[in-house]
Amino acid sequence: MKIANFVQNRLKVLPEGKPVLVGMKCNNCGETMFPKEKLCPNCSSEDVEEVTLSNRGKVWFYTIVCEGYGNLVGLTPPYVAAFIELPEGAYVHSLIVGCNPEEVKVGMNVELDFLDIGKQQVVYVFKPVSG
Protein backbone atom coordinates (compact mmCIF):
# COMPACT_ATOMS: atom_id res chain seq x y z
CA MET A 1 0.00 0.00 0.00
CA LYS A 2 1.43 3.34 -1.06
CA ILE A 3 0.18 6.51 0.60
CA ALA A 4 -0.76 9.24 -1.89
CA ASN A 5 1.71 12.14 -1.96
CA PHE A 6 -0.82 14.78 -0.88
CA VAL A 7 -1.50 12.99 2.44
CA GLN A 8 1.95 11.52 3.19
CA ASN A 9 2.76 14.02 5.95
CA ARG A 10 -0.49 13.08 7.73
CA LEU A 11 0.17 9.35 7.96
CA LYS A 12 2.97 7.04 8.93
CA VAL A 13 3.30 3.33 8.47
CA LEU A 14 4.09 1.35 11.60
CA PRO A 15 6.74 -1.43 11.43
CA GLU A 16 3.98 -4.06 11.10
CA GLY A 17 2.76 -2.26 7.96
CA LYS A 18 -0.31 -0.57 9.44
CA PRO A 19 -0.82 3.10 8.45
CA VAL A 20 -1.88 5.48 11.25
CA LEU A 21 -2.77 9.17 11.48
CA VAL A 22 -0.03 11.41 12.85
CA GLY A 23 -0.68 14.64 14.70
CA MET A 24 1.20 16.78 17.16
CA LYS A 25 0.98 17.57 20.83
CA CYS A 26 2.15 20.86 22.25
CA ASN A 27 4.33 20.37 25.32
CA ASN A 28 3.60 23.96 26.40
CA CYS A 29 -0.23 24.10 26.40
CA GLY A 30 -1.10 20.41 25.97
CA GLU A 31 -3.17 20.90 22.80
CA THR A 32 -3.28 17.97 20.35
CA MET A 33 -3.77 18.84 16.69
CA PHE A 34 -3.96 17.38 13.21
CA PRO A 35 -2.10 17.67 10.93
CA LYS A 36 1.28 18.18 12.53
CA GLU A 37 2.95 21.55 12.18
CA LYS A 38 6.15 23.19 13.41
CA LEU A 39 4.34 25.64 15.71
CA CYS A 40 1.37 25.19 18.01
CA PRO A 41 -1.52 27.21 16.54
CA ASN A 42 -2.96 27.58 20.05
CA CYS A 43 0.03 29.16 21.86
CA SER A 44 2.71 29.54 19.12
CA SER A 45 5.16 27.31 20.99
CA GLU A 46 7.79 25.42 19.02
CA ASP A 47 7.90 22.74 21.73
CA VAL A 48 5.75 20.20 19.89
CA GLU A 49 6.08 16.46 19.40
CA GLU A 50 4.66 13.99 16.91
CA VAL A 51 1.93 11.70 18.25
CA THR A 52 0.06 8.76 16.80
CA LEU A 53 -3.67 9.44 16.86
CA SER A 54 -6.61 7.13 17.48
CA ASN A 55 -8.20 5.34 14.55
CA ARG A 56 -11.73 5.98 15.87
CA GLY A 57 -13.67 9.15 16.50
CA LYS A 58 -17.05 10.86 16.18
CA VAL A 59 -18.51 13.02 13.45
CA TRP A 60 -18.26 16.59 14.76
CA PHE A 61 -19.57 18.40 11.66
CA TYR A 62 -20.37 17.31 8.12
CA THR A 63 -21.75 18.44 4.82
CA ILE A 64 -23.07 16.51 1.87
CA VAL A 65 -21.20 17.54 -1.26
CA CYS A 66 -23.70 17.61 -4.13
CA GLU A 67 -21.73 19.46 -6.78
CA GLY A 68 -18.38 18.15 -7.91
CA TYR A 69 -15.61 20.53 -8.91
CA GLY A 70 -13.10 17.78 -9.48
CA ASN A 71 -11.49 15.98 -6.61
CA LEU A 72 -8.33 14.02 -6.12
CA VAL A 73 -9.96 10.85 -4.84
CA GLY A 74 -12.43 10.19 -7.66
CA LEU A 75 -15.69 10.19 -5.72
CA THR A 76 -18.84 11.20 -7.54
CA PRO A 77 -21.32 13.44 -5.68
CA PRO A 78 -23.16 13.14 -3.47
CA TYR A 79 -20.54 12.29 -0.83
CA VAL A 80 -19.78 13.41 2.71
CA ALA A 81 -16.97 15.69 3.83
CA ALA A 82 -16.65 15.91 7.61
CA PHE A 83 -14.62 16.93 10.61
CA ILE A 84 -13.96 13.95 12.86
CA GLU A 85 -13.26 14.59 16.53
CA LEU A 86 -10.70 12.15 17.92
CA PRO A 87 -10.44 11.18 21.62
CA GLU A 88 -7.19 13.16 21.89
CA GLY A 89 -9.06 16.36 21.01
CA ALA A 90 -7.73 16.70 17.47
CA TYR A 91 -10.05 17.23 14.50
CA VAL A 92 -9.49 15.50 11.17
CA HIS A 93 -11.02 16.77 7.93
CA SER A 94 -11.94 13.69 5.92
CA LEU A 95 -14.42 12.03 3.65
CA ILE A 96 -16.89 9.49 5.05
CA VAL A 97 -17.45 6.37 2.97
CA GLY A 98 -19.25 3.08 3.47
CA CYS A 99 -22.76 4.48 3.93
CA ASN A 100 -25.35 6.64 2.21
CA PRO A 101 -24.76 10.36 2.81
CA GLU A 102 -28.20 10.67 4.45
CA GLU A 103 -27.16 8.14 7.13
CA VAL A 104 -24.36 10.35 8.49
CA LYS A 105 -25.21 12.16 11.75
CA VAL A 106 -23.32 14.39 14.18
CA GLY A 107 -21.98 12.16 16.97
CA MET A 108 -21.82 9.07 14.73
CA ASN A 109 -18.95 6.71 15.60
CA VAL A 110 -16.49 6.30 12.74
CA GLU A 111 -13.20 4.54 12.18
CA LEU A 112 -10.18 5.10 9.97
CA ASP A 113 -10.15 3.36 6.62
CA PHE A 114 -8.29 3.75 3.35
CA LEU A 115 -9.56 4.45 -0.14
CA ASP A 116 -7.73 3.18 -3.20
CA ILE A 117 -7.41 6.09 -5.64
CA GLY A 118 -5.63 4.11 -8.34
CA LYS A 119 -1.99 3.61 -9.24
CA GLN A 120 -1.69 1.54 -6.04
CA GLN A 121 -2.14 4.68 -3.90
CA VAL A 122 -4.45 5.21 -0.95
CA VAL A 123 -5.82 8.15 1.04
CA TYR A 124 -7.34 8.11 4.50
CA VAL A 125 -11.11 8.26 4.95
CA PHE A 126 -13.49 7.33 7.74
CA LYS A 127 -16.36 4.87 7.71
CA PRO A 128 -19.13 4.06 10.19
CA VAL A 129 -18.06 1.70 12.98
CA SER A 130 -19.57 -1.68 12.20
CA GLY A 131 -21.49 -3.64 14.78
pLDDT tens column, 61-86? 999 999 877 666 778 899 999 999 99
Domain that holds residue 17: 2-128
- The structure's pTM equals 0.88
- When pLDDT is averaged across residues 22-27 and rounded to a whole number, the result is 96
Taking the C-alpha atoms of residue 118 and residue 51, their distance in angstroms, rounded to an integer, is: 29
Alpha carbon separation from 5 to 2, 9, 41, 46, 122 (Å, rounded): 9, 8, 24, 26, 9
Contacts of 85-89 with CB under 8 Å at 24 or more apart are 85/57, 85/58, 85/59, 85/60, 86/21, 86/32, 86/34, 86/53, 86/54, 86/56, 86/57, 87/54, 87/56, 87/57, 88/23, 88/25, 88/32, 88/51, 88/53, 88/54, 89/31, 89/32
pLDDT beyond 70 at 18: yes
Q: Name the domain count of the chain.
A: 1
Assess contact for 52 and 10: CB atoms under 8 A: no
Q: pLDDT value at position 131?
A: 67
Q: pLDDT value at position 70?
A: 66
Instruction: Tell me how crowded residue 1 is: count the other CB atoms within 10 A of its CB.
Output: 11
Q: pLDDT value at position 121?
A: 76
